[in-house]
């Protein structure tokens, strides 16, 4: 019997706990059932409406590319006939000016179409360079040191400490991540003073390196976008940056808050829109999160989980729409697709900031986060596929889709059997499995948000990726932990440190977070990225990877 949708989402494990010692069931064996939640199996369900949405994006962006070839063909045929038969005679013979008028008319149409195309075409967005902040070594903490700091703070009972220890052991996080020393203080850490202090260290550290790398003066920056989900002081973090670097008075600044781990790509999207509206401009995007300000000192286990995963980190990205920057840029933005599931109550509350019974503030993570996140990821990937997949993969995809539709119609006479319902059903109804495209044909490199080992393993399984494809995500989680919205940039820095990015390579950045949101960005390398000599957080440890990280990931991938 084919598995049901619920069986795809959940796996169970029966554990023998021993023998009941007392009570009415004394002498009998006791068992417990562990339910392991998994991402929805992408192979078994794809929503057609999101495939159609992706093609809608493709058609909207390609309408002028479809018109120009037609005009060129018509114009070329007319000019060819015109030259062959009577070009010179018409030019000098005023009595026969009809064909000249026709040629001029076609020329005007051709020039007008080209003008409309170039004026309507979105400006190319170049990524000049980026940096990822690496804290000082005195902020490093092993997993044991982390638990010891939590114990010294006096804020947790032994049950809470033991729970955090178990989470850390299975998290995929290594022993060199960075945490603020203030978390061991018995005093309250979620203060504006602590938040501003941590923000100054990570943000200014990343920006100092960025301006040194790009040799662009802060006063030349026309657009500034800062995203930090939890810590949002007044004046804003963007104002703090402007004040520190004495930026010009007409800089367009934006501060994004409460948007979770996927805010890094949202910030890039906002910067792209602003660059499209402001010619000859440079934009800086800063993505970070404050660990100490987000530290939860209570006992609610669903709110203790973020304590175990989030670590210090910050990224700073320099974008430009200036054509002269093409020669010095590293990447060009190809596509950006955003998905938001906040209209559904369960998705909206899957990661929710609130106070517990003791009035301690923290992030509450629901048990359904894996399934909810999986639905958002599936929607985003399905929408993006028509924009990035080669034609051969799309033909195979739609061939399977049509086969399933025909097979479904032949076995069902109900009037409600639509194409989308047929596609969403398990394959047992028709015997035809959906064809999931090979995304390795669309991208050379993958930077998937390193939120946890479970999420990384499940995405690897669903997308059919190898350990090599997931290497950057696995290594980043192990070395730096979950740095929230900046994690995808640590992953890209890893690929550069390994010298793996060549000219023409496509990089897929996939992020997901509270809301619930999932966002994708596709970058194309405009030149070979040489192994950096400085300003890369991986330079002192990259030779130890991937083995240092893979040793802690229990999943064995047959695709490797």
The three-state (H, E, C) secondary structure of 21-63, written as one string: CCCCCCCCEEEEEEEEECCCCCCCCCCHHHHHHHHHHHHHHHH
113 and 228 assigned to the same domain: no
115 and 137 assigned to the same domain: no
How high is the pLDDT of residue 7? Answer: 38
Distance CA 551, CA 479 (A): 13
Which residue among the candidates 321, 380, 447, 449 is catalytic per the annotation?
449
Instruction: Evaluate whether residue 229 is within a structural domain.
Output: yes
Distance CA 124, CA 99 (A): 40
3-state secondary structure of 243: helix
What domain range includes position 31?
A: 5-37
105 and 131 assigned to the same domain: no
Here the tokens at position 250 are 């007409």
Nearest residue to 251 via CA among 264, 265, 238: 238
75 and 160 assigned to the same domain: no
Here the tokens at position 291 are 């660990």
Instruction: Evaluate whether residue 434 is within a structural domain.
Output: no
Helix, strand and coil content of the chain, in percent to the nearest 5, comes to 50, 20, 35
**Which residue is listed with tokens 């980190």?**
313
In the residue annotation, 344 being an active-site residue is answered as: no
Instruction: Evaluate whether residue 424 is within a structural domain.
Output: no
Residues 446/521, Cβ–Cβ less than 8 Å = no
108 and 223 assigned to the same domain: no
Q: Which residue, 94, 120, 146, sits at the end of a domain?
A: 120
Residues 350/21, Cβ–Cβ less than 8 Å = no
pTM for the model: 0.79
How high is the pLDDT of residue 404? Answer: 67
β-bridge pairing 223-228 and 282-288: parallel
How high is the pLDDT of residue 419? Answer: 30
Instruction: Evaluate whether residue 483 is within a structural domain.
Output: no
182 and 99 assigned to the same domain: no
Distance CA 520, CA 459 (A): 14
Query: How many independent structural domains does the chain possess?
Result: 3
268 and 327 assigned to the same domain: yes
Q: Return the number of other C-beta atoms located less than 10 Å from residue 319's C-beta.
A: 26
Q: Which residue, 335, 356, 390, sits at the end of a domain?
A: 335
Distance CA 77, CA 317 (A): 48
3-state secondary structure of 511: strand
Distance CA 144, CA 152 (A): 12
In the residue annotation, 261 being an active-site residue is answered as: yes
107 and 144 assigned to the same domain: no
195 and 310 assigned to the same domain: yes
Provide Rg for the chain, Cα atoms.
Answer: 28
216 and 301 assigned to the same domain: yes
Q: Which residue, 282, 302, 335, sits at the end of a domain?
A: 335
Here the tokens at position 401 are 């889709």
pLDDT, tens digit, 9 for 90 and up, residues 291-341: 999 899 989 999 999 999 999 999 999 999 998 999 999 999 999 999 999
Instruction: Evaluate whether residue 258 is within a structural domain.
Output: yes
In the residue annotation, 244 being an active-site residue is answered as: no
Residue 402 CA: distances (Å) to CA of 379, 414, 418, 518: 20, 18, 12, 28
Which residue among the candidates 8, 132, 227, 261 is catalytic per the annotation?
261
Which residue among the candidates 340, 467, 541, 557 is catalytic per the annotation?
340
How high is the pLDDT of residue 185? Answer: 81
266 and 133 assigned to the same domain: yes
How high is the pLDDT of residue 153? Answer: 87
Distance CA 82, CA 65 (A): 26
Residue 137 maps to which CATH number?
3.40.47.10
Residues with Cβ within 8 Å of residue 80, at least 6 apart in sequence: none
Distance CA 268, CA 257 (A): 14
Instruction: Evaluate whether residue 243 is within a structural domain.
Output: yes
Residues in the chain, pLDDT under 70? 1-103, 117-121, 401, 404-405, 407-436, 533, 548-560
Angle (CA) 98 103 104, round 5° = 95
Nearest residue to 228 via CA among 201, 198, 264, 204: 264
* String of DSSP letters for 377-407: HHHHHHHHHHHHS-HHHHHHHHHHHHHHHHH
β-bridge pairing 517-525 and 506-513: antiparallel
In the residue annotation, 482 being an active-site residue is answered as: yes
Helices 453-463, 369-388: inter-axial angle, 10-degree rounding: 40
103 and 147 assigned to the same domain: no
Biggest CA-to-CA distance, the chain: 116
Which residue among the candidates 425, 482, 519, 536 is catalytic per the annotation?
482
Which residue among the candidates 8, 478, 535, 550 is catalytic per the annotation?
478
In the residue annotation, 467 being an active-site residue is answered as: no
Distance CA 171, CA 478 (A): 9
274-311 exposure pattern, b = at least 16 Cβ within 10 A, e = fewer: bbeeeeebbbbbbbbbbbbbbbbbbbbeebbbbbbbbb
Residues 233/486, Cβ–Cβ less than 8 Å = no
What is the sign of the dihedral through the CA atoms of 155, 159, 164 and 169? positive
Instruction: Evaluate whether residue 433 is within a structural domain.
Output: no
**Which residue is listed with tokens 């930026």?**
247
In the residue annotation, 340 being an active-site residue is answered as: yes
Instruction: Evaluate whether residue 302 is within a structural domain.
Output: yes
How high is the pLDDT of residue 11? Answer: 43
Which residue among the candidates 132, 380, 425, 445 is catalytic per the annotation?
445
Q: Categorise residue 41: left if φ over 0, alpha if ψ from -120 to 50, beta otherwise.
A: beta
Residues with Cβ within 8 Å of residue 351, at least 6 apart in sequence: 260, 363, 364, 365, 366, 369, 513, 514, 515, 516
């Amino acid at each position: 019997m084919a598995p049901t949708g619920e069986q795809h989402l959940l796996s169970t494990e029966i554990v023998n706990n021993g023998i009941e010692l007392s009570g009415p069931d004394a002498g009998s064996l006791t068992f417990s059932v562990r339910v392991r939640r998994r991402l929805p199996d992408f192979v078994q369900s794809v929503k057609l409406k999101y495939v159609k949405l992706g093609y809608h994006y493709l058609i909207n962006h390609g309408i002028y590319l479809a018109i120009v070839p037609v005009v060129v063909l018509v114009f070329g045929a007319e000019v060819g006939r015109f030259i062959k038969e009577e070009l010179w005679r018409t030019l000098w013979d005023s009595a026969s000016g009809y064909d000249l008028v026709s040629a001029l008319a076609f020329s005007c149409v051709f020039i007008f179409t080209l003008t409309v195309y170039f004026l309507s075409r979105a400006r190319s967005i170049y990524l000049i360079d980026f940096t990822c902040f690496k804290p000082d070594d005195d902020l490093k903490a092993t997993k044991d040191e982390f638990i010891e700091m939590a114990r010294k703070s006096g804020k947790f009972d032994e049950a809470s400490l033991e729970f955090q220890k178990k989470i850390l052991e299975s998290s995929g996080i290594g022993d060199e991540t960075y945490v603020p020393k203030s978390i061991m203080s018995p005093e309250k850490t979620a203060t504006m003073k602590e938040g501003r202090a941590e923000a100054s260290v990570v943000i200014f550290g990343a920006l100092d390196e960025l301006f040194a790398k790009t040799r662009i003066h802060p006063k030349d920056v026309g657009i500034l976008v800062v995203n930090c989900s939890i810590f949002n002081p007044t004046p804003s973090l963007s104002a703090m940056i402007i004040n520190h670097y004495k930026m010009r008075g007409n800089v367009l600044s934006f501060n994004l808050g409460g948007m979770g781990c996927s805010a890094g790509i949202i910030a890039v999207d906002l910067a792209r829109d602003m660059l499209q509206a402001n010619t000859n401009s440079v934009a800086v995007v800063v993505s970070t999160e404050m660990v100490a300000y987000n530290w939860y000192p209570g006992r609610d286990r669903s709110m203790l989980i973020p304590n175990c995963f989030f670590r210090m980190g910050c990224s700073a990205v320099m974008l430009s729409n200036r054509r002269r920057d093409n020669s010095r840029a590293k990447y060009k933005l190809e596509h950006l697709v955003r998905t938001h599931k906040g209209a559904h109550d369960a998705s909206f509350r899957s990661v929710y900031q609130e106070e517990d019974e003791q009035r301690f503030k923290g992030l509450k993570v629901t048990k359904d986060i894996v399934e909810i996140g999986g639905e958002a990821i599936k929607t985003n990937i399905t929408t993006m596929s028509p924009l990035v997949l080669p034609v051969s993969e799309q033909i195979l995809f739609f061939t399977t889709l049509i086969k399933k539709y025909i097979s479904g119609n032949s076995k069902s006479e109900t009037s409600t059997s639509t194409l989308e319902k047929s596609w969403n059903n398990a394959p047992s109804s028709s015997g035809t499995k959906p064809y999931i495209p090979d995304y390795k044909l669309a991208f050379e490199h993958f930077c998937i948000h390193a939120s946890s080992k479970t999420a990384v393993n499940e995405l690897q399984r669903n997308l059919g990726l190898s350990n090599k494809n997931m290497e950057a995500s696995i290594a980043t989680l192990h070395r730096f932990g979950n740095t929230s919205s900046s994690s995808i940039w640590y992953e890209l820095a890893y690929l550069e440190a390994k010298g793996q990015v060549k000219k023409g390579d496509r990089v897929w950045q996939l992020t997901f977070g509270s809301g619930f949101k999932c966002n994708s960005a596709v970058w194309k390398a405009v030149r070979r990225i040489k192994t950096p000599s400085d300003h890369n957080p991986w330079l002192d440890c990259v030779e130890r990877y991937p083995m240092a990280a893979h040793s802690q990931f229990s999943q064995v991938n047959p695709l490797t």
